[in-house]
Structure 1
Amino acid sequence: MKTPGKEPEFARADAVAGLAREVDGLRRALDPLREVGARVDELARLVGQLAETVDAVSKRPAPTAAPSWLLQPADPVVVERVLGELCAWLRAVFLRYTDGTAALPECWLWHPDVVEELLWLMHAWCAAYQGKTASVQLVGDWHDRQRPGVVRRIRQNAGSCSIEKHQTRPDWDQYPTSSTPVPGLDAVSAIAGWWAAHRDDPAPEPASVAGSATNGVHRP
């Protein structure tokens, strides 16, 4: 017998079941939105990282370009200054390495490709060790890849050469020999003048094997 004013038990059960179905439907509808929210959070994190990277790159000083020996201006003063700096670096750094000393021929100044290699290697060393761009990674790359590569190419391309092979005068071998910390150091001025103003002509003739250190360079 139905009690007046009291809802039947089956009606309440149906209502609860219907509410459960609605809740389950809402849950199913909201689940994809939760995934979207997580993806939005991940995207925001990635955008933040990208913004930090762009900001760091924009504040990083621009790398310094290395001068090219092959494109030096037709100015003996400028060219001689470049060679002077290079010779000082060779003495202080490059010739401290046994394989560098063994690979560098006495006539290296007469080989534009060798001078070019040494010039960029010097600037790579400066970038690795000095200034705001210096880093352990650049130093490691200089030691592991750049310096050995230059030494190898100098040995391959000019390692068997000598002052004698650049000499044509019959009396070149009558001069006494001597040694210098940097081979051919006293030929810098003559080479600078040749490369600045006459690089399309033959190179000036060495005065002798020792002449690159003691007697200058002779141009016939």
Structure 2
Amino acid sequence: MTNPNNNHETPPGSRPTGPSDTAKSTPPTVEQAWAGPVAGLARLVDGLRRDLDPLTPVPDRVEELAALLAGLAETVASIASRKHAGPAPTWLLAPTDEVETAGLLDGLAGWMAVVYLRYPDAATGLPDCWCWHPDVVEELVWLMHAWSAAYQGPAASVALAGDWHDRQRPGVVRRIRQSAGSCSRENHQTRPGRPPLPTGAPTVAAVAELSVIAGWWGVGRDQAAPEPANPDVTDGDRS
């Protein structure tokens, strides 16, 4: 008997469908089963990477600070040891002994050949009459001994060598160029119509009036200073 509520007839040889057929699904593959956990693990790793990224420069920064600390320690040690350095000899107050002055000049010339003149700015700024200029010799003598203290002395250090290169050597080169860089041997030779260069001991001006200045500064410095005497007045007239 045909069900009057069923408008469709089941074709012969076919199986009628039911609720159990619609609920049935294809089982997931292995890749699909692991997709969720793997994605979660990837998110976890990415989060850890973001947390650790700010810490990446830390080892380099630690090494930088360690190097800075070592440099500061060396600088402090070199400064503390300077008080034990010996005094530098002086050309201006060298003993009045030809043997000693000759030895000082010979040693200086040897050092200049192997060290000082290796620097192009020093070589171009040194006149060929350098040894006729006591101030130039004085500069070179102390610079030579500063180099020796930085490289060979008991307190030799990288810090002292750096100071020699950065400050001491350039300063001497600059002063020599300013005071005698344009001079030459010919300037020290007597020529007709040209006054000779002053090479003797310098004269200190106003020596005769030093006692006047000493008295004013000693007891009356709050008052006006005494006026200088007329330069045409001799010491005998002044007294």
TM-score norm. by structure 1 comes to: 0.50
Which position in structure 1 is the counterpart of 2:64?
none
What is the deviation of 1:126? 0.2
Residues in 1 aligned to 2:100 and 2:132: alpha-carbon distance in whole angstroms: 18
The higher-RCO structure (CA 8 Å, 6+ apart) is: 1
Aligned residue among 158, 163, 173 for 1:151: 173
SS in 1 for 2:154: coil
Which position in structure 2 is the counterpart of 1:98?
120
Q: How does 1:121-132 map to 2 (within 5 A)?
A: 121-132=143-154
Residue type matched to 2:140 in 1? L
Which position in structure 1 is the counterpart of 2:163?
141
Aligned residue among 119, 125, 142 for 1:120: 142
Which position in structure 2 is the counterpart of 1:47?
none
SS in 1 for 2:137: helix
Q: Unaligned regions of 5+ residues in structure 2, if any?
A: 1-75, 193-198, 203-239
Residue type matched to 1:133 in 2? A
Structure number with the higher helix fraction is: 1
What is the deviation of 1:132? 1.4
Residue type matched to 2:188 in 1? H
Q: Is the Cα–Cα contact under 8 Å of residues 103 and 151 in structure 1 kept in the other structure? A: yes
Residues in 1 aligned to 2:169 and 2:82: alpha-carbon distance in whole angstroms: 25
TM-score norm. by structure 2 comes to: 0.46
What is the deviation of 1:199? 6.1
Q: Is the Cα–Cα contact under 8 Å of residues 61 and 132 in structure 1 kept in the other structure? A: no
What is the deviation of 1:62? 1.4
What does the per-residue CA deviation read over 1:14-38, in whole Å, with 9 as the maximum and x for residues that have no partner? xxxxxxxxxxxxxxxxxxxxxxxxx
Structure number with greater Rg is 2
What is the deviation of 1:169? 5.5
Q: How does 1:31-180 map to 2 (within 5 A)?
A: 62-168=84-190
Residues in 1 aligned to 2:133 and 2:86: alpha-carbon distance in whole angstroms: 25
What is the deviation of 1:121? 0.2
Give the 3 Å change call, closer, same or farther, for CA 70–160 of structure 1 in structure 2: same
Residues in 1 aligned to 2:127 and 2:186: alpha-carbon distance in whole angstroms: 11
What is the deviation of 1:200? 4.1
What is the deviation of 1:104? 0.6
Residue type matched to 1:131 in 2? G
SS in 1 for 2:84: coil
Matched positions, count:
118
Residue type matched to 2:158 in 1? V
Residue type matched to 1:68 in 2? T
What is the deviation of 1:131? 2.4
% identical equivalent positions: 62
Residue type matched to 1:137 in 2? A
Residues in 2 aligned to 1:137 and 1:60: alpha-carbon distance in whole angstroms: 12
Residues in 1 aligned to 2:138 and 2:110: alpha-carbon distance in whole angstroms: 16
Structure 1 outlier segments of 4+, above 6 Å? none
